[in-house]
Chains A and B, each alone.
Chain A
Amino acid sequence: MQRFVNNPSEVVDDMLVGFLKNYSSLLAPTDNPKVIKTRMAGEKGRVGVVTGGGSGHKPAFIGYLGRNMVDAVAVGEIFSSPPAKAFYDAFRAADGGAGIACLYGNYAGDNMNVKMARELAEEDGIKVMTVVANDDVASAPKGEEAKRRGVAGEIFMWKAGGAKAAQGASLEEVIAAAQKAIDNTRSVGVGLTSCTIPAVGKPNFHIEPGKMELGIGHHGEPGIRVDPLGTADQVAEEMVNIVIPDLPFRSGDEVAVLVSGLGATPVMELYILFGKIAELIEEKGIKIHCSYVGNYFTSLEMMGATLTVMKLDDELKGLMDMEAESMGLTQFKR
Protein backbone atom coordinates (compact mmCIF):
# COMPACT_ATOMS: atom_id res chain seq x y z
CA MET A 1 0.00 0.00 0.00
CA GLN A 2 1.34 3.40 -1.00
CA ARG A 3 -0.30 5.06 1.98
CA PHE A 4 0.55 7.29 4.94
CA VAL A 5 -0.39 5.01 7.81
CA ASN A 6 1.02 4.11 11.23
CA ASN A 7 -0.91 1.23 12.76
CA PRO A 8 -3.52 0.30 10.11
CA SER A 9 -6.05 -0.55 12.82
CA GLU A 10 -5.77 2.93 14.31
CA VAL A 11 -6.12 5.15 11.26
CA VAL A 12 -9.38 6.65 12.51
CA ASP A 13 -7.95 7.64 15.90
CA ASP A 14 -4.80 9.01 14.27
CA MET A 15 -6.85 11.03 11.79
CA LEU A 16 -8.99 12.54 14.55
CA VAL A 17 -5.89 13.88 16.31
CA GLY A 18 -4.87 15.87 13.26
CA PHE A 19 -8.40 16.91 12.41
CA LEU A 20 -9.12 18.34 15.85
CA LYS A 21 -5.79 20.14 15.91
CA ASN A 22 -6.46 21.77 12.56
CA TYR A 23 -10.03 22.86 13.39
CA SER A 24 -9.43 23.65 17.05
CA SER A 25 -11.13 27.06 16.85
CA LEU A 26 -14.36 25.54 15.53
CA LEU A 27 -14.47 22.01 16.97
CA ALA A 28 -13.88 20.28 20.27
CA PRO A 29 -13.37 16.72 21.47
CA THR A 30 -15.77 15.11 23.96
CA ASP A 31 -15.28 12.52 26.70
CA ASN A 32 -15.92 9.86 24.07
CA PRO A 33 -12.93 9.80 21.68
CA LYS A 34 -15.31 8.76 18.87
CA VAL A 35 -17.55 11.82 19.26
CA ILE A 36 -16.64 15.30 18.03
CA LYS A 37 -18.73 18.43 18.47
CA THR A 38 -18.65 22.07 17.55
CA ARG A 39 -17.61 24.55 20.21
CA MET A 40 -21.18 25.92 20.25
CA ALA A 41 -22.90 22.51 20.50
CA GLY A 42 -25.58 22.13 23.15
CA GLU A 43 -26.68 25.78 23.05
CA LYS A 44 -29.71 26.08 25.29
CA GLY A 45 -33.09 26.02 23.57
CA ARG A 46 -31.68 25.13 20.16
CA VAL A 47 -32.33 21.83 18.36
CA GLY A 48 -29.14 19.79 18.14
CA VAL A 49 -28.24 18.35 14.73
CA VAL A 50 -26.35 15.07 14.90
CA THR A 51 -25.05 12.65 12.33
CA GLY A 52 -22.63 9.77 12.23
CA GLY A 53 -21.31 7.06 10.02
CA GLY A 54 -18.31 5.02 9.09
CA SER A 55 -15.01 6.75 8.40
CA GLY A 56 -13.20 6.94 5.08
CA HIS A 57 -15.57 9.46 3.48
CA LYS A 58 -13.80 12.74 4.26
CA PRO A 59 -15.03 15.44 4.44
CA ALA A 60 -18.06 13.39 5.57
CA PHE A 61 -18.99 13.11 8.29
CA ILE A 62 -16.94 15.27 10.67
CA GLY A 63 -16.20 17.80 7.94
CA TYR A 64 -19.80 18.98 8.11
CA LEU A 65 -19.57 19.93 11.76
CA GLY A 66 -19.73 23.66 12.05
CA ARG A 67 -21.66 26.85 12.36
CA ASN A 68 -25.24 26.47 11.08
CA MET A 69 -24.40 22.89 10.12
CA VAL A 70 -24.03 19.72 12.20
CA ASP A 71 -23.44 20.03 15.97
CA ALA A 72 -22.03 16.61 16.90
CA VAL A 73 -20.85 13.55 14.99
CA ALA A 74 -20.48 9.89 15.96
CA VAL A 75 -17.37 8.52 14.28
CA GLY A 76 -17.20 4.89 13.15
CA GLU A 77 -14.35 2.73 12.00
CA ILE A 78 -13.59 2.72 8.27
CA PHE A 79 -16.84 1.96 6.43
CA SER A 80 -18.48 0.74 9.62
CA SER A 81 -21.32 2.27 11.59
CA PRO A 82 -20.38 3.99 14.86
CA PRO A 83 -21.40 2.06 17.95
CA ALA A 84 -24.66 2.86 19.71
CA LYS A 85 -22.74 4.51 22.53
CA ALA A 86 -21.10 6.97 20.14
CA PHE A 87 -24.48 8.04 18.73
CA TYR A 88 -25.82 8.32 22.28
CA ASP A 89 -22.86 10.42 23.42
CA ALA A 90 -23.24 12.62 20.32
CA PHE A 91 -26.91 13.18 21.23
CA ARG A 92 -25.85 14.24 24.72
CA ALA A 93 -23.12 16.53 23.36
CA ALA A 94 -25.61 18.32 21.07
CA ASP A 95 -28.49 18.45 23.53
CA GLY A 96 -29.70 21.92 24.38
CA GLY A 97 -33.06 20.79 25.73
CA ALA A 98 -34.98 21.29 22.47
CA GLY A 99 -34.43 17.81 21.08
CA ILE A 100 -32.05 16.14 18.67
CA ALA A 101 -32.43 15.80 14.91
CA CYS A 102 -30.38 12.75 13.96
CA LEU A 103 -29.84 12.96 10.20
CA TYR A 104 -28.03 9.92 8.84
CA GLY A 105 -27.82 7.51 5.91
CA ASN A 106 -29.77 4.33 5.27
CA TYR A 107 -27.42 1.49 6.22
CA ALA A 108 -28.35 -1.57 8.29
CA GLY A 109 -25.73 -0.89 10.97
CA ASP A 110 -26.54 2.80 11.34
CA ASN A 111 -30.24 2.00 11.60
CA MET A 112 -29.66 -0.45 14.45
CA ASN A 113 -27.12 1.65 16.32
CA VAL A 114 -29.19 4.84 16.07
CA LYS A 115 -32.25 2.96 17.27
CA MET A 116 -30.45 1.72 20.37
CA ALA A 117 -28.87 5.11 21.05
CA ARG A 118 -32.25 6.75 20.72
CA GLU A 119 -33.72 4.43 23.33
CA LEU A 120 -30.87 5.26 25.72
CA ALA A 121 -31.26 9.02 25.13
CA GLU A 122 -34.99 8.88 25.69
CA GLU A 123 -34.37 7.29 29.08
CA ASP A 124 -32.44 10.50 29.85
CA GLY A 125 -35.35 12.61 28.65
CA ILE A 126 -33.68 13.66 25.38
CA LYS A 127 -36.13 13.56 22.49
CA VAL A 128 -34.55 12.25 19.30
CA MET A 129 -36.15 12.31 15.87
CA THR A 130 -34.52 10.96 12.73
CA VAL A 131 -34.31 11.48 9.00
CA VAL A 132 -32.77 8.60 7.05
CA ALA A 133 -31.16 9.64 3.77
CA ASN A 134 -31.97 7.45 0.75
CA ASP A 135 -30.85 9.48 -2.25
CA ASP A 136 -28.87 6.79 -4.14
CA VAL A 137 -31.05 5.98 -7.14
CA ALA A 138 -29.03 2.93 -8.21
CA SER A 139 -29.33 1.12 -4.90
CA ALA A 140 -32.98 0.09 -5.30
CA PRO A 141 -35.61 0.53 -8.00
CA LYS A 142 -38.19 3.27 -8.06
CA GLY A 143 -41.08 2.34 -5.82
CA GLU A 144 -38.64 0.86 -3.29
CA GLU A 145 -37.09 4.17 -2.27
CA ALA A 146 -37.06 3.19 1.40
CA LYS A 147 -34.41 0.56 0.60
CA ARG A 148 -32.04 3.02 -1.06
CA ARG A 149 -28.74 4.02 0.49
CA GLY A 150 -27.84 7.49 1.58
CA VAL A 151 -24.90 9.03 -0.25
CA ALA A 152 -23.74 12.58 -1.03
CA GLY A 153 -27.31 13.88 -0.80
CA GLU A 154 -26.80 13.70 2.95
CA ILE A 155 -24.83 16.94 2.64
CA PHE A 156 -27.92 18.78 1.43
CA MET A 157 -29.94 17.18 4.24
CA TRP A 158 -27.40 18.42 6.82
CA LYS A 159 -27.25 21.88 5.24
CA ALA A 160 -31.04 22.22 5.29
CA GLY A 161 -31.43 20.76 8.80
CA GLY A 162 -28.51 22.73 10.22
CA ALA A 163 -29.78 26.00 8.78
CA LYS A 164 -33.30 25.36 10.04
CA ALA A 165 -32.02 24.61 13.54
CA ALA A 166 -29.92 27.78 13.44
CA GLN A 167 -33.07 29.78 12.69
CA GLY A 168 -34.45 28.63 16.03
CA ALA A 169 -36.99 26.21 14.56
CA SER A 170 -38.60 23.45 16.62
CA LEU A 171 -37.47 19.81 16.40
CA GLU A 172 -40.48 18.94 14.23
CA GLU A 173 -39.67 21.82 11.86
CA VAL A 174 -36.00 20.85 11.59
CA ILE A 175 -36.97 17.25 10.85
CA ALA A 176 -39.53 18.37 8.25
CA ALA A 177 -36.96 20.55 6.46
CA ALA A 178 -34.30 17.82 6.43
CA GLN A 179 -36.87 15.27 5.25
CA LYS A 180 -38.02 17.59 2.50
CA ALA A 181 -34.41 18.10 1.41
CA ILE A 182 -33.69 14.39 1.10
CA ASP A 183 -37.08 13.58 -0.45
CA ASN A 184 -36.22 16.01 -3.23
CA THR A 185 -32.67 14.75 -3.74
CA ARG A 186 -31.36 12.04 -6.05
CA SER A 187 -27.79 10.79 -6.55
CA VAL A 188 -25.79 8.31 -8.58
CA GLY A 189 -22.17 7.19 -8.41
CA VAL A 190 -19.75 5.96 -11.06
CA GLY A 191 -16.66 4.02 -9.96
CA LEU A 192 -13.45 3.58 -11.93
CA THR A 193 -11.18 1.87 -9.40
CA SER A 194 -11.47 0.08 -6.06
CA CYS A 195 -10.31 1.14 -2.61
CA THR A 196 -8.34 -0.48 0.19
CA ILE A 197 -9.24 -0.38 3.88
CA PRO A 198 -5.81 0.01 5.53
CA ALA A 199 -6.48 -2.68 8.15
CA VAL A 200 -7.54 -5.12 5.42
CA GLY A 201 -4.58 -4.26 3.23
CA LYS A 202 -5.93 -5.23 -0.17
CA PRO A 203 -8.55 -3.81 -2.50
CA ASN A 204 -12.17 -4.47 -1.58
CA PHE A 205 -13.27 -5.31 -5.10
CA HIS A 206 -12.03 -4.96 -8.63
CA ILE A 207 -12.93 -2.92 -11.68
CA GLU A 208 -11.26 -3.93 -14.93
CA PRO A 209 -9.17 -1.22 -16.58
CA GLY A 210 -11.24 0.41 -19.29
CA LYS A 211 -14.51 -0.28 -17.48
CA MET A 212 -16.72 1.80 -15.22
CA GLU A 213 -19.23 0.66 -12.64
CA LEU A 214 -22.46 2.64 -12.82
CA GLY A 215 -24.35 3.01 -9.57
CA ILE A 216 -21.43 2.05 -7.34
CA GLY A 217 -21.91 2.62 -3.60
CA HIS A 218 -19.83 4.66 -1.20
CA HIS A 219 -18.23 1.56 0.23
CA GLY A 220 -17.64 -0.05 -3.12
CA GLU A 221 -20.98 -1.83 -3.12
CA PRO A 222 -21.18 -3.09 -6.67
CA GLY A 223 -23.28 -0.99 -8.99
CA ILE A 224 -26.10 -1.82 -11.30
CA ARG A 225 -23.99 -2.25 -14.42
CA VAL A 226 -20.41 -2.45 -15.64
CA ASP A 227 -19.88 -0.66 -18.94
CA PRO A 228 -16.87 0.27 -21.04
CA LEU A 229 -15.52 3.59 -19.75
CA GLY A 230 -16.71 6.31 -22.08
CA THR A 231 -15.58 9.89 -22.50
CA ALA A 232 -16.30 12.37 -19.70
CA ASP A 233 -19.24 13.70 -21.71
CA GLN A 234 -20.68 10.21 -22.13
CA VAL A 235 -20.31 9.49 -18.41
CA ALA A 236 -21.92 12.83 -17.55
CA GLU A 237 -24.84 11.96 -19.81
CA GLU A 238 -25.26 8.50 -18.20
CA MET A 239 -25.35 10.10 -14.76
CA VAL A 240 -27.84 12.77 -15.75
CA ASN A 241 -30.03 10.14 -17.43
CA ILE A 242 -30.19 8.11 -14.23
CA VAL A 243 -30.77 10.99 -11.81
CA ILE A 244 -33.10 13.38 -13.65
CA PRO A 245 -35.97 11.01 -14.60
CA ASP A 246 -36.10 9.41 -11.15
CA LEU A 247 -37.59 12.26 -9.10
CA PRO A 248 -38.40 13.39 -11.82
CA PHE A 249 -36.84 16.82 -12.23
CA ARG A 250 -38.83 18.85 -14.75
CA SER A 251 -38.51 21.93 -16.92
CA GLY A 252 -39.01 24.99 -14.72
CA ASP A 253 -37.51 23.37 -11.61
CA GLU A 254 -34.73 25.06 -9.72
CA VAL A 255 -32.03 22.78 -8.36
CA ALA A 256 -28.84 22.51 -6.35
CA VAL A 257 -26.19 20.33 -8.01
CA LEU A 258 -23.28 18.56 -6.33
CA VAL A 259 -20.54 16.69 -8.15
CA SER A 260 -18.25 14.93 -5.71
CA GLY A 261 -15.12 12.93 -6.33
CA LEU A 262 -14.79 9.51 -4.68
CA GLY A 263 -11.30 10.25 -3.40
CA ALA A 264 -8.64 9.73 -6.04
CA THR A 265 -10.14 11.32 -9.13
CA PRO A 266 -8.37 14.59 -9.98
CA VAL A 267 -10.60 17.57 -9.21
CA MET A 268 -9.93 18.77 -12.74
CA GLU A 269 -11.93 15.83 -14.07
CA LEU A 270 -14.85 16.67 -11.77
CA TYR A 271 -15.06 20.05 -13.50
CA ILE A 272 -14.93 18.35 -16.89
CA LEU A 273 -17.92 16.24 -15.80
CA PHE A 274 -19.75 19.19 -14.26
CA GLY A 275 -19.46 21.30 -17.41
CA LYS A 276 -21.40 18.71 -19.38
CA ILE A 277 -23.79 17.88 -16.54
CA ALA A 278 -24.75 21.55 -16.19
CA GLU A 279 -25.26 21.86 -19.93
CA LEU A 280 -27.51 18.78 -20.05
CA ILE A 281 -29.54 19.87 -17.03
CA GLU A 282 -30.05 23.38 -18.37
CA GLU A 283 -31.02 22.01 -21.79
CA LYS A 284 -33.97 20.41 -20.02
CA GLY A 285 -35.15 23.80 -18.84
CA ILE A 286 -33.98 23.17 -15.26
CA LYS A 287 -32.32 26.12 -13.54
CA ILE A 288 -29.20 25.56 -11.44
CA HIS A 289 -29.56 27.78 -8.38
CA CYS A 290 -26.29 26.70 -6.77
CA SER A 291 -23.63 24.09 -7.46
CA TYR A 292 -20.75 22.42 -5.69
CA VAL A 293 -17.83 20.62 -7.32
CA GLY A 294 -15.04 18.92 -5.40
CA ASN A 295 -14.33 16.14 -2.95
CA TYR A 296 -17.43 16.41 -0.74
CA PHE A 297 -18.13 12.77 0.08
CA THR A 298 -15.41 10.30 -0.79
CA SER A 299 -14.69 6.61 -0.49
CA LEU A 300 -11.02 6.36 0.56
CA GLU A 301 -8.98 6.33 -2.67
CA MET A 302 -11.62 5.18 -5.11
CA MET A 303 -11.56 6.84 -8.49
CA GLY A 304 -14.97 7.94 -9.59
CA ALA A 305 -17.60 10.57 -8.99
CA THR A 306 -21.13 11.06 -7.76
CA LEU A 307 -23.82 13.39 -9.06
CA THR A 308 -26.44 14.72 -6.66
CA VAL A 309 -29.35 16.96 -7.61
CA MET A 310 -31.89 18.52 -5.23
CA LYS A 311 -35.09 20.22 -6.30
CA LEU A 312 -35.56 23.49 -4.44
CA ASP A 313 -38.55 25.40 -3.21
CA ASP A 314 -38.39 28.78 -1.50
CA GLU A 315 -37.75 27.27 1.90
CA LEU A 316 -34.93 24.97 0.71
CA LYS A 317 -33.42 27.79 -1.31
CA GLY A 318 -33.29 29.96 1.77
CA LEU A 319 -31.75 27.17 3.82
CA MET A 320 -29.10 26.45 1.17
CA ASP A 321 -28.26 30.15 0.89
CA MET A 322 -27.87 30.69 4.62
CA GLU A 323 -24.33 31.31 5.81
CA ALA A 324 -22.50 28.27 7.11
CA GLU A 325 -18.98 27.41 8.17
CA SER A 326 -17.55 23.90 8.09
CA MET A 327 -14.56 22.14 6.59
CA GLY A 328 -16.65 20.47 3.91
CA LEU A 329 -19.03 23.27 3.04
CA THR A 330 -18.73 26.96 3.74
CA GLN A 331 -21.45 29.28 2.50
CA PHE A 332 -20.88 33.01 2.44
CA LYS A 333 -23.72 35.48 2.52
CA ARG A 334 -25.64 35.29 -0.76
Chain B
Amino acid sequence: MSGFANKEGSVVVKALIETIQKNKDYLSEVDGAIGDGDHGVNMEKGFSLCLDRVDWANTTFAEAMRTLSRILMMEIGGSMGPIYGTLFGEMAKVAKDKEHLSSADFSQMLNAAVAGIGGLGGAKVGDKTLLDALVPATKAFDDSIAAENDFAAALTAMSEAAKKGWESTKDMVAKVGRASRLGERSRGVYDAGATSCYLLLTALADSVRPLLK
Protein backbone atom coordinates (compact mmCIF):
# COMPACT_ATOMS: atom_id res chain seq x y z
CA MET B 1 0.00 0.00 0.00
CA SER B 2 1.35 3.43 -0.87
CA GLY B 3 2.29 6.00 1.71
CA PHE B 4 5.16 8.17 2.82
CA ALA B 5 8.03 7.76 5.24
CA ASN B 6 7.71 9.67 8.50
CA LYS B 7 11.37 10.58 8.37
CA GLU B 8 11.02 12.10 4.89
CA GLY B 9 7.85 14.00 5.78
CA SER B 10 9.16 17.13 7.46
CA VAL B 11 9.07 18.83 4.03
CA VAL B 12 5.29 18.67 4.33
CA VAL B 13 5.37 20.86 7.42
CA LYS B 14 7.78 23.18 5.64
CA ALA B 15 5.29 23.48 2.80
CA LEU B 16 2.55 24.42 5.27
CA ILE B 17 4.79 27.16 6.66
CA GLU B 18 5.58 28.51 3.19
CA THR B 19 1.88 28.61 2.34
CA ILE B 20 1.08 30.72 5.35
CA GLN B 21 4.03 33.03 4.70
CA LYS B 22 2.96 33.51 1.09
CA ASN B 23 -0.67 34.22 2.01
CA LYS B 24 -0.10 36.43 5.06
CA ASP B 25 -1.57 39.59 3.52
CA TYR B 26 -4.45 37.77 1.87
CA LEU B 27 -5.48 36.11 5.15
CA SER B 28 -5.43 39.42 7.00
CA GLU B 29 -7.51 40.98 4.25
CA VAL B 30 -10.15 38.23 4.47
CA ASP B 31 -10.19 38.54 8.26
CA GLY B 32 -10.48 42.33 8.04
CA ALA B 33 -13.89 42.10 6.37
CA ILE B 34 -15.68 40.73 9.44
CA GLY B 35 -12.93 40.08 11.97
CA ASP B 36 -10.13 42.23 13.24
CA GLY B 37 -7.73 41.76 10.36
CA ASP B 38 -4.91 40.03 12.19
CA HIS B 39 -5.29 36.42 11.05
CA GLY B 40 -2.47 36.52 8.49
CA VAL B 41 -0.12 38.38 10.82
CA ASN B 42 -0.57 35.96 13.72
CA MET B 43 -0.45 32.82 11.61
CA GLU B 44 2.68 34.01 9.85
CA LYS B 45 4.34 34.77 13.19
CA GLY B 46 3.65 31.30 14.58
CA PHE B 47 4.48 29.34 11.46
CA SER B 48 7.69 31.32 10.91
CA LEU B 49 8.83 30.60 14.48
CA CYS B 50 8.53 26.92 13.65
CA LEU B 51 10.68 27.37 10.55
CA ASP B 52 13.55 28.59 12.74
CA ARG B 53 13.08 26.03 15.48
CA VAL B 54 13.15 22.77 13.58
CA ASP B 55 16.32 21.00 12.46
CA TRP B 56 14.75 20.16 9.12
CA ALA B 57 17.26 17.58 7.91
CA ASN B 58 16.93 15.46 11.05
CA THR B 59 13.27 15.76 11.94
CA THR B 60 10.36 13.48 11.13
CA PHE B 61 6.96 14.55 9.91
CA ALA B 62 5.43 13.80 13.32
CA GLU B 63 8.12 15.72 15.22
CA ALA B 64 7.85 18.78 12.97
CA MET B 65 4.04 18.68 13.30
CA ARG B 66 4.38 18.50 17.06
CA THR B 67 6.76 21.46 17.16
CA LEU B 68 4.38 23.49 15.01
CA SER B 69 1.51 22.49 17.29
CA ARG B 70 3.34 23.42 20.50
CA ILE B 71 4.35 26.82 19.15
CA LEU B 72 0.83 27.64 17.99
CA MET B 73 -0.78 26.35 21.17
CA MET B 74 1.57 27.92 23.72
CA GLU B 75 3.07 30.97 22.08
CA ILE B 76 0.71 32.47 19.54
CA GLY B 77 -2.57 33.10 21.27
CA GLY B 78 -5.60 34.51 19.55
CA SER B 79 -8.22 31.91 18.62
CA MET B 80 -6.15 30.39 15.88
CA GLY B 81 -3.27 29.46 18.21
CA PRO B 82 -5.31 26.95 20.22
CA ILE B 83 -7.36 25.81 17.21
CA TYR B 84 -4.50 25.09 14.82
CA GLY B 85 -2.34 23.94 17.74
CA THR B 86 -4.98 21.28 18.42
CA LEU B 87 -5.36 20.40 14.74
CA PHE B 88 -1.66 19.75 14.17
CA GLY B 89 -1.17 18.29 17.64
CA GLU B 90 -3.83 15.63 17.00
CA MET B 91 -2.27 14.81 13.63
CA ALA B 92 1.18 14.54 15.21
CA LYS B 93 -0.14 12.16 17.88
CA VAL B 94 -1.46 9.76 15.22
CA ALA B 95 1.75 9.94 13.19
CA LYS B 96 4.07 9.50 16.17
CA ASP B 97 5.93 6.15 16.32
CA LYS B 98 4.87 5.22 12.79
CA GLU B 99 7.62 4.59 10.29
CA HIS B 100 5.40 4.67 7.28
CA LEU B 101 2.19 6.66 6.93
CA SER B 102 -0.46 4.97 4.83
CA SER B 103 -3.70 6.42 3.54
CA ALA B 104 -5.44 4.76 6.50
CA ASP B 105 -3.07 6.58 8.89
CA PHE B 106 -3.67 9.82 7.02
CA SER B 107 -7.41 9.34 7.35
CA GLN B 108 -6.97 8.74 11.06
CA MET B 109 -4.94 11.98 11.31
CA LEU B 110 -7.64 14.02 9.60
CA ASN B 111 -10.39 12.49 11.73
CA ALA B 112 -8.43 13.07 14.93
CA ALA B 113 -8.00 16.73 13.95
CA VAL B 114 -11.74 17.09 13.35
CA ALA B 115 -12.52 15.49 16.71
CA GLY B 116 -9.94 17.64 18.53
CA ILE B 117 -11.33 20.89 17.16
CA GLY B 118 -14.88 19.77 17.75
CA GLY B 119 -13.97 19.42 21.41
CA LEU B 120 -12.72 23.00 21.71
CA GLY B 121 -15.40 25.51 21.05
CA GLY B 122 -18.52 23.56 20.21
CA ALA B 123 -18.50 24.70 16.56
CA LYS B 124 -20.09 22.48 13.94
CA VAL B 125 -20.30 22.39 10.16
CA GLY B 126 -22.32 25.35 8.88
CA ASP B 127 -21.19 27.72 11.62
CA LYS B 128 -18.77 29.52 9.27
CA THR B 129 -15.52 28.24 10.76
CA LEU B 130 -12.55 26.23 9.52
CA LEU B 131 -14.59 23.08 10.14
CA ASP B 132 -16.50 23.95 6.97
CA ALA B 133 -13.31 23.24 5.02
CA LEU B 134 -11.84 20.52 7.24
CA VAL B 135 -14.88 18.28 7.70
CA PRO B 136 -15.87 17.89 4.03
CA ALA B 137 -12.20 17.49 3.11
CA THR B 138 -11.85 14.64 5.59
CA LYS B 139 -15.02 13.01 4.34
CA ALA B 140 -13.92 13.33 0.71
CA PHE B 141 -10.60 11.69 1.55
CA ASP B 142 -12.34 8.81 3.33
CA ASP B 143 -14.93 8.38 0.57
CA SER B 144 -12.25 8.32 -2.10
CA ILE B 145 -10.29 5.62 -0.25
CA ALA B 146 -13.52 3.67 0.33
CA ALA B 147 -14.11 3.83 -3.42
CA GLU B 148 -10.72 2.13 -3.78
CA ASN B 149 -8.91 5.11 -5.24
CA ASP B 150 -5.23 5.44 -4.41
CA PHE B 151 -3.70 7.78 -1.81
CA ALA B 152 -2.80 10.42 -4.41
CA ALA B 153 -6.33 10.53 -5.83
CA ALA B 154 -7.78 10.75 -2.33
CA LEU B 155 -5.52 13.74 -1.62
CA THR B 156 -6.86 15.46 -4.71
CA ALA B 157 -10.43 14.72 -3.60
CA MET B 158 -9.52 16.16 -0.20
CA SER B 159 -8.19 19.46 -1.53
CA GLU B 160 -11.09 19.84 -3.96
CA ALA B 161 -13.58 19.35 -1.13
CA ALA B 162 -11.63 21.78 1.06
CA LYS B 163 -11.92 24.39 -1.67
CA LYS B 164 -15.66 23.83 -2.05
CA GLY B 165 -16.10 23.92 1.71
CA TRP B 166 -14.16 27.13 1.94
CA GLU B 167 -16.26 28.69 -0.84
CA SER B 168 -19.43 27.64 0.97
CA THR B 169 -18.50 29.81 3.97
CA LYS B 170 -19.13 32.92 1.87
CA ASP B 171 -22.89 32.52 2.06
CA MET B 172 -22.97 31.45 5.69
CA VAL B 173 -23.88 33.47 8.76
CA ALA B 174 -21.27 33.07 11.50
CA LYS B 175 -22.54 31.13 14.52
CA VAL B 176 -19.45 31.08 16.76
CA GLY B 177 -16.47 33.31 17.47
CA ARG B 178 -16.15 37.04 17.06
CA ALA B 179 -18.00 37.31 13.76
CA SER B 180 -21.06 35.58 15.24
CA ARG B 181 -22.01 38.84 16.89
CA LEU B 182 -22.65 40.29 13.44
CA GLY B 183 -25.47 37.94 12.51
CA GLU B 184 -26.59 38.61 8.94
CA ARG B 185 -23.79 41.11 8.42
CA SER B 186 -21.28 38.26 8.42
CA ARG B 187 -22.79 36.91 5.18
CA GLY B 188 -21.06 37.59 1.87
CA VAL B 189 -17.43 37.17 2.91
CA TYR B 190 -15.25 34.12 3.43
CA ASP B 191 -14.41 32.90 6.89
CA ALA B 192 -10.75 33.61 7.62
CA GLY B 193 -10.15 30.30 9.43
CA ALA B 194 -11.76 28.32 6.62
CA THR B 195 -9.57 30.22 4.16
CA SER B 196 -6.33 29.31 5.91
CA CYS B 197 -7.57 25.75 6.46
CA TYR B 198 -8.31 25.32 2.75
CA LEU B 199 -4.87 26.70 1.83
CA LEU B 200 -3.18 24.42 4.38
CA LEU B 201 -5.05 21.30 3.28
CA THR B 202 -4.15 22.04 -0.33
CA ALA B 203 -0.51 22.48 0.64
CA LEU B 204 -0.73 19.25 2.63
CA ALA B 205 -2.04 17.35 -0.41
CA ASP B 206 0.45 18.91 -2.81
CA SER B 207 3.44 18.21 -0.58
CA VAL B 208 2.47 14.67 0.45
CA ARG B 209 1.75 13.56 -3.13
CA PRO B 210 5.37 13.62 -4.41
CA LEU B 211 6.50 11.65 -1.34
CA LEU B 212 4.18 8.72 -2.00
CA LYS B 213 5.76 5.45 -2.93
Residues of A bordering B, CB below 8 Å = 9, 54, 76-86, 107-109, 111-113, 116, 139-140, 147, 149, 197, 199-200, 202, 204-205, 217, 219-222
Contact = CB atoms under 8 A, between A and B. Distances in A.
Contacts of A222: 34, 182, 185
Enumerate the 9 nearest inter-chain pairs by beta-carbon distance, A residue then B residue, closest first: A83-B77, A109-B79, A80-B78, A112-B82, A85-B74, A219-B36, A79-B36, A108-B177, A204-B37
Nearest to A80: B78
Contacts of A199: 38, 41
B78 A81 contact: yes
A111 B83 CA distance: 12
B36 A112 contact: no
Contacts of B79: 81, 107-109, 112
A83 B74 CA distance: 5
B104 interface: no
Contacts of A82: 77
**For B34, B81, B176, which residue has the most chain A Cβ atoms within 10 angstroms?**
B81
Contacts of A204: 32, 36-37
Contacts of A78: 38
Interface of A is mostly: loop
Nearest to B75: A83
A123 to B, nearest CB: 14
Given A77-B41, A199-B41, A221-B36, A84 B82 contact: yes
18 contacts: A77-B77, A80-B42, A81-B79, A81-B81, A83-B75, A83-B77, A108-B176, A109-B78, A109-B81, A116-B73, A139-B181, A197-B36, A197-B41, A200-B28, A204-B32, A221-B36, A221-B181, A221-B182
B75 A108 contact: no
Contacts of A220: 36
Contacts of A109: 77-82
Interface residues of B, number: 30
B180 interface: yes
A102 to B, nearest CB: 15
B77 to A, nearest CB: 4
Interface string B42-76: 10010000000000000000000000000001111
A265 to B, nearest CB: 20
A199 B44 CA distance: 11
Contacts of A116: 73, 82
B181 A147 contact: yes
Interface of B: 28, 32, 34, 36-38, 41-42, 45, 73-83, 120-121, 176-182, 185
Nearest to B73: A84
Given A109-B79, A219-B178, 19 more contacts: A9-B45, A76-B78, A77-B38, A77-B45, A79-B38, A80-B36, A80-B77, A81-B79, A83-B77, A84-B74, A108-B177, A109-B78, A112-B83, A113-B77, A116-B82, A197-B37, A200-B37, A202-B32, A221-B182
A113 B121 CA distance: 11
A118 to B, nearest CB: 13
A79 B32 CA distance: 12
Contacts of A140: 181
Contacts of A9: 41, 45
B181 A149 contact: yes
A189 to B, nearest CB: 12
Nearest to A140: B181
Contacts of B75: 83, 85
Contacts of B120: 112
A242 to B, nearest CB: 15
Given A85-B74, A112-B121, A197 B38 contact: yes
B194 to A, nearest CB: 15
Contacts of A221: 36, 178-179, 181-182
Nearest to B83: A112
B92 to A, nearest CB: 17
B81 A83 contact: yes
Nearest to B180: A147
B41 A200 contact: yes
A9 B42 CA distance: 10
